[in-house]
Amino acid sequence: MTGGELGLSRRQLVNIIGRAAGASVAYQAMTSLGYAAESGYKGPIKLSPAKPGASVVVLGAGLAGMVAALELRAAGYKVQILEFNQRAGGRNWSLRGGDRYTELGGATQVVDFAKGNYFNHGPWRIPYHHYAVLDYCKRLGVTLEPFIQVNYNAYVHNSKAFGGQPQRFRHVQTDLQGHVAELLAKATNQGGLDQAVTKEDRERLLEGLKSWGTLDTDYRYVASKATSDKRGYEIDPAGGLMPLAKPSQPLGLNDILQAGMWAQVNTGNVYEFQSAIFQPVGGMDQIGKAFEREVKPMIRYGVKVTKIEQSASKVTVTYVDAVKGGAPRQVSADWCVCTIPLSILSQIEVQVSGPMRDAIAAVPYGASVKVGLEFKRRFWEEDELIYGGVTQTDLPIRNISYPSNGLFSKGPGVLLGGYMFDNVHAFRMTSMSPEERVRAALEMGAQIHPQYKTEFKSGVAVAWHRVPFTNGCYARWTDALREQHYKNLCAIDGRIVLAGEHASYIPAWMEGSILSSLDAVQRLHAKALSA
């Protein structure tokens, strides 16, 4: 069948090549979920002076709440923050040795990591195009370092392929690209694309495929020095009288297709995961701590909000001690910025309009489970030469992420031993006890790294549907829900405005939380000045 019979245009031909790599499908899926929206941050905001004596109560000391407090205070508002936890940061949170965490249901984990080790069980990376997060890090003095997302020496793994043995990322990536290039070159040389491209473009395409796929002069993808320069050698080039270099043998196309590793080797092409990616030195919670240093005098910790009321002139918030309960107390302010997650806010009596109340109740929260595993030594570096990056598998743990910090250091190291995100595995792991989650991650991870069995030291597992202050990971919008409720959720309702990742087109990311807050406070400030 010719390209003309297939109805191919040049643009469609490019898309075919893109689909062969898998990235376009992944990107479309991410976009439909709202993940791939680019940050709209245009630089620091500067609010004009507030009216004398104007006040705001901010509910929640996560990133959205602290951004709101920081910017409103700079404009002259009297600001107070009510926070459920005994710390600030919300989901911007890391666990370290000595920390205690009790989830819904009462299970308590005492983290037993070695000094200096930590686990980012919430946010764990910052894409280069999340401009607001990066700008606040710079302004608040949060030192960043590279986060390694794609490591060609890490693994991809399908428990039903290659005898269950993990394959090096570089092998599958290079061989997939080479075989696809060979197929396209054959189709081109046999006239299969004559209706899709001109003769001149055909020659350019063949030249490009030869380079892209590392094909030989006959447009074949076979073992050679050139292919080994991409996928690695069976015997590496050496020196002196050491054995001569020996090219490695590519995996067969059928084996790769049967393994179904298309998406695994192409996640690095997804917008959020393209280099450069960053992380704070010392743990992701360094961002929350930096904000907290700026606004701490305004925060009242250990507060459980039970009611939010408003009148024509003020907002009144009723709360109790989050641990002891006791007699209700109240605070009042002219305005309210509420950053409480919808999964919690929907359980609170809130005096807002019907449309906003419906919006608050309409949005479900996605499930996520992360498992942090500490091992006696960094065997992934010492034994397998894996320095940072992510191994992907079809097993329920989905990912193993190797630390990008502390490279070459001795002693215990912590890796992300499982990241189940918004799938059936996340719900199943959530239903387990923390000890069972850790044990499951160890059993599955040992299929990729046998060293798990002898090198394991301690572990911690956080299921976000069991986190008391969120009851979920992130707001799981659909196109239909956004069409019906999003504007009502974000609108200023009397004297109350909502902010957080749930009020953004970048859910589950810190950037969405910050942008939502900046937008909310600018609109609230404009209304306050005109009131």
3-class SS at 186? helix
Domain boundaries, the chain: 3-31+159-260, 55-89+287-363+477-530, 95-153+275-283+366-466
Tens digits of per-residue pLDDT, 32-75? Answer: 333 445 578 888 999 999 999 999 999 999 999 999 999 999 99
Q: Are 59 and 341 in contact (CB under 8 A)?
A: no
3-class SS at 480? helix
Q: Which residues of 24-61 are buried (b: 16+ CB within 10 A; e: fewer)?
A: bebbeebeebbbbbebebeeeeebeebeeebbbbbbbb
Cα dihedral sign for 327, 57, 500, 88? negative
Tens digits of per-residue pLDDT, 86-128? Answer: 999 999 999 999 999 999 999 999 999 999 999 999 999 999 9
Residue that has been written with the tokens 């992944």 in this structure = 26
Predicted pLDDT at 38 = 58
Cα(360)–Cα(348) distance, integer angstroms:
10
Which residues partner with 372 through β-bridges?
416, 460
**Tokens coding 331:** 């605070």
Residue 268 confidence class, pLDDT cut points 50, 70, 90: confident
Please name the helix (run of DSSP H) or strand (run of DSSP E) that holds residue 180, with its range, or none: helix 169-189
Predicted pLDDT at 306 = 98
Residue that has been written with the tokens 């990971």 in this structure = 473
What ranges in 386-509 are assigned the alpha helix state H? Answer: 424-430, 434-445, 452-455, 479-481, 487-490
pLDDT of 437 > 90? The answer is yes
pLDDT of 213 > 90? The answer is yes
Which amino acid, one-letter code, is at 53? G
Q: Are 11 and 18 in contact (CB under 8 A)?
A: no
Q: Which positions ≥6 away from 110 have C-beta within 8 Å?
A: 98, 99, 100
Q: Does domain 55-89+287-363+477-530 have CATH number 2.60.120.10?
A: no
Cα(276)–Cα(278) distance, integer angstroms:
7
Q: Which of 225, 223, 217 lies closest to 189, judged by CA?
A: 217
**Tokens coding 106:** 């009462």
3-class SS at 60? coil
Tens digits of per-residue pLDDT, 151-175? Answer: 999 999 999 999 999 999 999 999 9
**Tokens coding 362:** 């309409």
Out of 3.40.50.300, 3.90.660.10, 3.30.300.10, 3.20.20.370, which CATH number does the structure's domain 95-153+275-283+366-466 have?
3.90.660.10
Q: Which positions ≥6 away from 386 have C-beta within 8 Å?
A: 151, 153, 154, 155, 380, 402
Cα(343)–Cα(353) distance, integer angstroms:
18
pTM for the predicted model, two decimal places: 0.90
Q: Which of 142, 145, 159, 140 lies closest to 70, judged by CA?
A: 140
Q: Are 400 and 393 in contact (CB under 8 A)?
A: yes
Please name the helix (run of DSSP H) or strand (run of DSSP E) that holds residue 316, with its range, or none: strand 315-321
Q: Please give the share of the chain, as a percent, with pLDDT higher than 70.
A: 93
Mean pLDDT (the chain, rounded): 92
Tens digits of per-residue pLDDT, 334-381? Answer: 999 999 999 999 999 999 999 999 999 999 999 999 999 999 999 999
- ∠ Cα 333 318 76 (to 5°): 20
**Residue-by-residue DSSP string for 202-255:** HHHHHHHHHHHHT--TTS---SSHHHHHHH-EEE---STTSPPPEEPPPPPHHH
Cα(227)–Cα(222) distance, integer angstroms:
7
Predicted pLDDT at 32 = 34
Predicted pLDDT at 378 = 98
Predicted pLDDT at 36 = 41
Q: Which positions ≥6 away from 328 have C-beta within 8 Å?
A: 306, 318, 319, 320
Architecture of domain 3-31+159-260: Up-down Bundle (1.20)
CB neighbourhood size of 524 (10 A): 23
Cα(383)–Cα(451) distance, integer angstroms:
9
